[in-house]
Amino acid sequence: MFKLVRGVGSDGQPIVVEIDESKFGKRKYNKGKRVDGVWVVGGVERTPERKMFLLTVPNRNQNTLKLIIDTFVKDGNI
């Protein structure tokens, strides 16, 4: 079970949620070829609690990223 990242702080202001993506994999000899690996998307609140989520995604198209944001971030966040 997961908890949503909060939408509004105790002061009534929207909470900022920073979201980013990164690809994790291995490159042989650090050459400039494509990296075989998995995409990871995550988000973290800008609050003292620093609630966060991380998950792997099969592809990072617009629909997938929107579904992740709708699932893990409450309405009202920035």
pLDDT value at position 7?
A: 64
Asked whether the beta carbons of 6 and 52 are under 8 A apart, the reply is no
- The Cα 75–Cα 24 span in angstroms is 29
Q: Which of the pair, 25 or 9, is modelled with greater confidence?
A: 25
Task: Please determine, for residue 33, whether its predicted confidence score (pLDDT) is greater than 80.
Answer: no
Tell me the domain boundaries of the chain.
Answer: 20-26+36-72
Q: How many CB atoms lie within 10 A of CB 77?
A: 19
Provide the percentage of residues in the chain whose pLDDT is more than 70.
Answer: 81
- In this prediction the pTM is 0.72
List the end-to-end C-alpha distance of the chain, in Å, as a whole number: 24
- Mean local confidence (pLDDT), 9-28: 82
pLDDT for residue 17 is more than 90 = no
Give the mean model confidence (pLDDT) for residues 13-32: 81
